[in-house]
Amino acid sequence: MKVLANDGISESGEKALKEAGINLLDNRVSSGHLAQFINDNEVDVLLVRSATKVTKELIDACPTLRIVGRGGIGMDNIDVEYAREKDIYVFNTPLASLRSVAELVFAHFFSLARNLHESNRLMPLEGETKFNELKKSFAKAFELKGKTLGVIGMGKIGMEVAKIGISLGMKVLCYNRTPKTEEVALDFFDGQTVNFSLTSISLDEVITQSDFISINTAKTLHYILDSEEFSKMKDGVFIVNAARGGVLNEVTLLDFIEEGKIAGAALDVFENEPNPELPLLMNPALSLSPHIGGSTIDAQEKIGMELAEQLIKLKLQ
């Protein structure tokens, strides 16, 4: 088994693969040269994160390719159906980055609720001369405890977001395109576990009742949140999108922020990624990050090990 981890793999994952006798190539190949590299080196396993695209054209050009592994949950960058039609085994690591993404959602919520995103911009510029004015302007802040959290998308990340909300004392409402009930367990340091049952309700119910809204869905063909949905929300709502660019309308989001309907929003993903629109980057009501939801040392270690473990199992079959 010859493996190309084109977007990298953690040291622990690399070590596990090599100890299992799997030939891991230490290369990073650009998209224009990837097919030739795979063919020249008779690569049969391609591991990717979000950077490398596994398209129909690449699949057709690489007859030696037997397995494609995606580090992370979403597989938007892989033509999964076509790969499987060609008898290529495709897998991902759905559990490895859950906590990292969910914690980033709340990092943004806390930043928005306490005005940290804006104070971090202004304190270096005006903290010395306008300290008291800044203190007064940032005093309008909120606690999360006792507020209502709306979770759009009841997949694994959505349920991890819900768990953190519950642990903070928030009321949690969930929407899923396909109605469902999920059981979630909160595990504590002393060995105790508390179980909760979450049942989906309508999108209208979620957006009209929530103080904080997190979008945690796969890529969609149409906006989940647009003018109609924004207009139904509570005044002063906070929204975080750490899912995919294009699940909310960024233009109308800014309109509703300017009107004061939406108090603030956070974006970790963008419609025009990796070139976000300038009005988004310049708006002080937005808390922004460059698609780093799953980018923690912890998640990378778990992703690398999960990729390695799945490959080792496949080798032994």
Which residues are known catalytic residues? 244, 273, 291
Residues 6+ apart with CB under 8 A from 278: none
Residue 4, CA distances (Å) to 12, 26, 126 in order: 16, 7, 50
The CB density around residue 130, as the number of other CB atoms within 10 Å, is 14
Residue (of 117, 156, 158) closest to 241 by Cα position: 158
| β-bridge mates for residue 181, sequence order | 199
| Residue 45, helix vs strand vs coil | strand
Asked if 233 contacts 213 with a C-beta cutoff of 8 angstroms, the reply is yes
**d(Cα 88, Cα 43) in Å, to the nearest integer?**
13
How many CA within 13 A on the CB side of residue 301? Answer: 5
Cβ-defined contacts of 200-207 (< 8 Å, 24+): 200/154, 200/174, 200/175, 200/176, 201/173, 201/174, 201/175, 202/175, 203/152, 203/175, 203/229, 204/232, 205/173, 205/175, 206/150, 206/151, 206/152, 206/173, 206/174, 206/175, 207/150, 207/232, 207/233
**d(Cα 94, Cα 99) in Å, to the nearest integer?**
11
The CB density around residue 88, as the number of other CB atoms within 10 Å, is 21
Helix, strand, coil shares of the chain, percent, nearest 5, are 40, 20, 40
Residue (of 306, 314, 316, 317) closest to 89 by Cα position: 314
